[in-house]
Amino acid sequence: MSETLLTDGIADLLTTVMEEPTTELYVVGPSPETIEELVSVATDLEPAPTIKLLVSERPLKGVMEDFIVASRAANLIEDGSLELRTTEEAPANSLLVTDDAVVSVVGACEQVAGLQSDDEEFVANAHRQYESAWADADEYTLRTPPLTTVRDTLGADIDEATADDFDEVLASLQTARGNGDGLDEVTISLLVAAKNGELLYDISKWGEDIGLASKATFSRTKTKLEDMGLIDTEKVPIDVGRPRLRLMLGDERLEDAEADQLANVAQSILSS
């Protein structure tokens, strides 16, 4: 038996498919948009099936440059809900393969259709094909730490106020890639640290310890933001060794902004 699942977008289609009982879901050859929506839907779905994402490396790597998507995907990986592998033999159309059905994803204008077949022999053949393809595919290592780890350690190692501000800044963004397309995770960390008067040493050590970025990356980004007037620093003497730098916001527009406005104000300053 075949049917068409007509939805208003890929998120609706994924939700419809994933809400059906299935222990395992192969997502084969998805578009970058589908990968983003898959992570979003799976994050909000309880319980989520075990998702096996099989895709070419280039689109996967491109999507995972967005910290918001990558850190949520890392949460799912840590929970055992998501596995990532890459292949150069993806089908022309995205496929969703559940325990009982095969769905081909077709987009047209603003709508997305899922062309679904639950023929037992066809589904069994699809399972065998993609189980074999999965076994031959390369594992993809996601280096971004889980968002829960970022948030929990920021609260524990720095302070809860900084962690709360980090959450609010991230929630205000559609994407966190940097390079003019949202603020990247290091910039966000430095801005909320400056808002709370934290030391550069502490925030960069925290970031390096959890695998967010190296101390050198934090230092370079601090210098860039300082040169552009977004943050300022003051020396703090210590008992032994060179003074450390306390981070402060360097523009009164940032000082007056609430945490959920901080990203927009910072991006406005950066683009001016």
The residues spanned by each domain of the chain are 2-139, 147-271
- Model pLDDT, residue 180: 57
User: Computed from CA positions of residues 107, 175, 171, 259, in that sequence, does the dihedral angle turn out positive or negative?
Assistant: negative
Residues of the chain with pLDDT under 70: 1-3, 109, 179-182
Amino acid residing at 109: C
Mean of per-residue pLDDT scores for the chain: 91
Q: Tell me which residue of 203, 63, 80 sits closest to 146, measured CA to CA.
A: 80
Helices 185-195 and 160-171: angle between axes, nearest 10 degrees: 130
Amino acid residing at 1: M
- Please state whether the peptide bond connecting residue 91 to the residue before it is cis, i.e. omega within 30 degrees of 0: no
Q: 2-139 maps to which CATH number?
A: 3.30.870.10
| Domain 147-271, CATH class in plain words | mainly alpha
- Model pLDDT, residue 179: 63
- Cα separation, 255 vs 21, whole angstroms: 50
* Cβ–Cβ under 8 Å, residues 74 and 191: no
- Kindly state the tokens that stand for 201: 């040493």
207 CA to centre of own chain: 16
* Cβ–Cβ under 8 Å, residues 67 and 177: yes
- Model pLDDT, residue 110: 72
The partner residues of 27 in beta bridges, in order of sequence, read 53, 96
Phi, psi for 174 (deg, rounded to 5): -85, -35
- Cα separation, 112 vs 16, whole angstroms: 12
- Cα separation, 98 vs 49, whole angstroms: 9
- Cα separation, 112 vs 220, whole angstroms: 43
